[in-house]
Structure 1
Amino acid sequence: MSERGVVSVGVCDPDSSGAALRWAAREASRRRAQLRVLHAVHHGLLPGTPEEHRAAVARAAARVLQQACAAVREAAPGLRVSTHTVHGRARDVLAGAAAGSDLVVVGARGRSGAPGLALGSTSAALAGTCPVPLVVLAHDPVRGASGVLVGVDGSADARAAVRFAARAAERSGEGLTVLHAWDDLDTYPGLAVHPGPGAASRPGGPSTAPGGGGSAPGDGREAAGTAGREAAGTAGPVVAWFAGRSATLLDEAVELALETCPGVRVHPLSVRAPSTAGAVLRASRGARLLVLGARGDRHPSARAVAPTGAVTRALLHTARAPVAVVAAGPA
């Protein structure tokens, strides 16, 4: 694989940004890309600031970047790294850096994040508005996590997310799980999972890790939507419509994934649940990466009010796995 692209990561300090920095370094290594480490300085460099204070701020920024370089060398030896101290708010610095990047990585909260909140103002502002894929890490990734999980809903952003997820799975040599969660608008006491043939299931969620399902001979495809069609054939008309739509969306997503990366192993998963976010959260346990469309299948007027969809916002707060937020383009 030839070297390509730039991965940019924002660092605040080693404690709050360590997980994002290590993840970004390993991802840049997988891509054979350059890693660009950015540290934003918003306070202390305003006009009229005493020179002594300006020098102290510069020294502190240099220490942060020096520690970041040491962490990168440990996580991905031999990686090409550039470091930059930029004057401005972190969200503005990273938004500007995105123009020359293929991927932007941030921690969920900076050092000023309020206790109890998983998502800080910088990551919240960038999600849904970043012009390139954004990966947000609320926690250190779970040890032993594997596989890539992508949620689909038929939207343009979801299709962009499938393409991104397929490339991520191919790059890491892992399987790809394509999930569609649906509800027939009634209230259900529990979660029923309808995986593709050969995948184990139990009430409450899938028992196999994302991407861990077997593959059909030939092209890495599992029988997309079969369980959804089986549900459609044995249920009432409302449930049947939702189950059939789920099967169709999974068929389309699997086709897109295999068109993007023909060799990737794809595992379709149809989940009937009263909460889409809850279903995706349960399915993402054990995943190395969760990929979501930024805005989802919503009316344009709703996108103007909230650039990020409700499900994506909820999962940015709650998911243990790194969350990649992908947009197809301007809303």
Structure 2
Amino acid sequence: MSNQSGIGVAFTGSGSAAPEAVLDNENMSRVVETSDEWIASRTGIHQRHLAAPGESLKQFAAQAAQNALNMAGISAADVDLIILATSTADDLFGSASQIQMAIGAHRAAAFDLTAACSGFVFGMVTAAQYIRTGAYQTVLLIGADVLSRWVDWGDRRTCVLFGDGAGAVVMQASSVGDRLLGFELRSDGSLSNYLTLAHEGQPRELVDDVAIGQGSYQPIQMNGQEVYRFAVRKVPEVIEKALFRANLTVEQIDWLLLHQANQRILDAVADRLALPKEKVISNMARYGNTSAASIPIALDEAVRAEHLKPGDVIASAGFGAGMSWGAAIFQWGK
């Protein structure tokens, strides 16, 4: 994808954080009628981290952000912009500015971006535009969600899937190359009923002829079969489009890093792209589906384990509610 400005994007640090409390599949069977065999065989998930009542999204996001800053070797004062990809902010007006204050990034502008499980990829592309135009030098991109707040713990089709956590990357301007090689973003609102966390208002009459709908949100509702069909059809396609924009082929991919929704989806996408399983990054067995946090958590673990090395070509894709989906082809490092 052409970049006319001559300013490139580098990925200089990563970090992640998750609650200490872990609910494994054996204990999940005490919450809802299920079993480890039922969950693991259908999803690949064995446990998930869950935020305690007194814990907040801000807490995990700030910890992940600080870990990323430490790896990048910069301070929070160096950050120009914070983008928080989340669907479960502590405050409906947004949590990015709370994280900005928590880490001491006093110079940074901060805003929330909501694209559900695609949020981190959408956020990466958004951050890159600010850097490529020269508007900002250093962007802190965070993906964080606390989905346990909005799960129906009596619905075994959904409650077994989701976990809580946060991941972050530092993206900085570079004069020696552009590490974001290509991307493709898509949305289709006609499919939005497949996965929802919808507002449910009860009529309240204020005065004659003036009424409002006042209420909260329904728990997460999902048509799992349709989401699976959607993902295995659309994700390989959007990755191939992003590769075309990057002028690369599937054979040049070092790692496939997908939103960690379901191991069967990861396997199906890898098969359709003819990628060997050893190139697929997966940690959902230990985290479950953490929505916008899933890609950066898996990325950070791969970097810190030294599986993923500077210069490696990563094909990443997010997909989920909206419906939204997107892919980014990038190289790790400066």
* TM-score past 0.5 threshold: no
- Find the structure with the greater CA-based Rg: 1
Length-normalised TM-score, structure 2: 0.23
Higher strand share: 2
* Greater relative contact order (Cα < 8 A, sep 6+): 2
Length-normalised TM-score, structure 1: 0.23
